[in-house]
Structure 1
Amino acid sequence: MTSEGIASNLVPDFGRYGIFCPLHAQDTREQADVAAEIEGMGYGTLWVGNSTIDNAMPLLGATQHMVIGTAIQSIWRLPAQETAFRLDALESVYPGRFQLGLGVSHPQAAADYRRPYSAMVEYLDILDGCPTSVPPLRRTLAALGPRMLRLARDRSAGAMPYLVTTEQVAHAREALGDGPVLSPELGVVLESDPERARTLAREAVSFYLGLTNYRKSWLRGGFTEDDMSNGGSDRLIDALFAWGSEQDISARIHAFFDAGADHLALQVFDGSGPGHLPRRGWERVSEMLSLG
């Protein structure tokens, strides 16, 4: 299939809600089972954390209609030419069901990290120029800062910001304008006890507190260096995660939509522990949102 065969004028239908879930700790068979399970709960998209396009084929094969997206494929992990070639192969079998999420990662996590904005522009240029090109509407950028948000607006389907507040969603919507799809991640902690909820949230965010681009994002959002110390202040944690009663969690979800989100990638934490997927948590959230 050439680029003419890709549905370049259409963004896949993400649905209103998706699940963000890293699956690299599971074998291929379990990953496929998880994808089918999530689809059965009524979610429209599975965003696979810390992934590349290579992770998508078995997940697409295990599901019928759900969109599979990378969240996020680092541009340093797979060359643009290879990405375009592999998307063409996916599209020939599962047309219109894959979304390429791209990001620049962080200097602490990518040995080749350099001039991130220019590197992303170059990557998109190569995608555009490949014989099996990746149309703009079939890619989404992990945009946090103003320049990357404008790039997402102009050269992709939209933005998928991670670890952002309601106010930052509103700012992203303003930067993108009305057309592009805004699909922020939102952490959902299924715990009503404040101390326990914040403990689970701090466990989830601890790795990211030391990453440059998130720290810059939070500083732009009005937080201070002190907010990022000692596991994150209550103020930061409460702004980044939805927790509490079902009513509390629903209110935060609706606040993201009111701020301009089109789709939410929900990352659920239910106390299952490291290495254990929050299956019951996904089910509870599905029931809460009446997805089934």
Structure 2
Amino acid sequence: MSRWGLTIPLTGVPLAEHREIVAGLSELGYTDAWSAETNGTDAFTPLALASQWDPALRLGPAIVPVYTRGPALLASHAATLADLAPGRFVLGIGTSSDTIVERWNGIPFTEPYKRTRDTLRFLRKALAGEKVKEDYETFSVKGFKLENTPATPPPIVLAALRPGMLRLAAREADGAITNWLAPKDVRTVRGVLGDGPELVARLFVCPTDDAEEARRIGRWMIAAYMNVPVYRAFHEWLGRGEALRPMNEAWAAGDRKKALEVIPDEVVDDLIVHGSPEACRARIREYVDNGLTTPVVAIVPGGGLSTAEAVRALAPSAG
């Protein structure tokens, strides 16, 4: 397998305590470290640290929203990381969700496709060192030029959950990022994206033989995500709309307890990788066999392993 990523920061581990774990990732067979940006750390600081802790890792945010930073600031962030990790940084951008953009940051979540397209086009020019003076459909930039242009402009990959964004990723970006899917769903995504572009996916992995514990944890995670409109629409497209409808209806009615109870085991088993570490690694390889380029493990605490133990147990070198 060519790539095998890990999500950082790790749940429950303070960022300042990551050095020892991150410094050994490439020796364990991990090739990538990908951050996230929701209500924890920002996306760029963990990558800046990781760039110095393990100089063999490829690094990327999956993802940074195109709304919550101005275009010029986003370009500056990307250029900084590209300078810290020459040839090893990939910029992952996307719409994020109305919850993060509008409810948490007070920014209107309007024209998400166009905003992503315009930001991608701006970044291509800015990161290549061009002076950008252009009126895009969703914003205008009047004479911005990076002071320090990256020697190697980073590839840009788009968060893409449905056909429109997948086609944009195939046409104008260097790949696509997705998550919350089963191995069989990779083929559906590839059917739109095509076989050529890189496809990155965050996989939620709970290394435990206690299936009921994994499903209990997984139900909470699924309910938190699958009631967000963009993820609900994604799974309707993937064919899980009817299976998730009772959960969506109970959630909308304010009955959280029932919403959790009516999520089928089959859906949890589809979307959460769980079992022994050996079984988890085999399941991750199923994704790759179905067309996933870069699996990015997101360790879900559970099963009695410490986070550091889980990192080692799920590493490619362990199997």
Q: Same fold (TM over 0.5)?
A: yes
SS at match of 1:144: coil
Say which of 189, 195, 205 aligns to 1:178.
195
Aligned to 2:307: 278
The 5 Å alignment of 1:18-37 reads 18-22=5-9, 28-37=15-24
Question: 2:231 is aligned with what amino acid?
Answer: Y
Aligned to 2:136: none
**Any idea what the Cα deviations from partners look like across 1:59-109, whole Å, max 9, x if unmatched?**
211112101110111112222212222322333342111111111111122
For the pair 1:234 / 2:234, whether they are aligned, the reply is no
Cα deviation for residue 202 of structure 1 reads 2.3
TM-score normalised by L of structure 2: 0.77
Cα deviation for residue 261 of structure 1 reads 0.8
Say which of 105, 109, 118 aligns to 2:96.
105
Q: 2: distance between equivalents of 1:156 and 1:137?
A: 11
Is the CA contact (8 Å cut-off) linking 2:223 and 2:247 kept in structure 1? no
Say which of 135, 156, 159 aligns to 1:142.
159
Q: How many pairs does the alignment contain?
A: 275
The gaps in structure 1 that reach 5 residues or longer are: 1-13
Is the CA contact (8 Å cut-off) linking 1:18 and 1:46 kept in structure 2? yes
SS at match of 1:19: strand
Task: Indicate the percent of aligned positions where both proteins have the same amino acid.
Answer: 26
Cα deviation for residue 272 of structure 1 reads 7.4
Q: 2: distance between equivalents of 1:37 and 1:207?
A: 32
Cα deviation for residue 206 of structure 1 reads 3.7
The 5 Å alignment of 1:42-81 reads 42-50=29-37, 51-81=42-72
Task: Report the structure number with the largest CA radius of gyration.
Answer: 2
**Any idea what the Cα deviations from partners look like across 1:137-163, whole Å, max 9, x if unmatched?**
611111110011111111222111011
Q: 2: distance between equivalents of 1:71 and 1:18?
A: 11
Say which of 185, 191, 200 aligns to 1:168.
185
Question: 2:272 is aligned with what amino acid?
Answer: F
**Any idea what the Cα deviations from partners look like across 1:191-238, whole Å, max 9, x if unmatched?**
222211211222433421321111111111111212555233212211
Say which of 186, 190, 196 aligns to 2:213.
196
- 127-136 vs 246-255, which deviates more? 127-136
TM-score normalised by L of structure 1: 0.83
1:129–1:177 distance in 2 versus 1, CA, 3 Å: same
Aligned to 1:153: 170
Question: 1:64 is aligned with what amino acid?
Answer: P
The 5 Å alignment of 1:230-269 reads 230-231=259-260, 232-246=263-277, 248-269=279-300
1:179–1:69 distance in 2 versus 1, CA, 3 Å: same
For the pair 1:84 / 2:75, whether they are aligned, the reply is yes
Q: 1: distance between equivalents of 2:119 and 2:11?
A: 24
Is the CA contact (8 Å cut-off) linking 1:137 and 1:156 kept in structure 2? no
**Any idea what the Cα deviations from partners look like across 1:106-153, whole Å, max 9, x if unmatched?**
112212211110110111122123234788861111111001111111
Q: 2: distance between equivalents of 1:290 and 1:158?
A: 26
Question: 2:314 is aligned with what amino acid?
Answer: V
Cα deviation for residue 25 of structure 1 reads 7.3
Question: 1:123 is aligned with what amino acid?
Answer: T
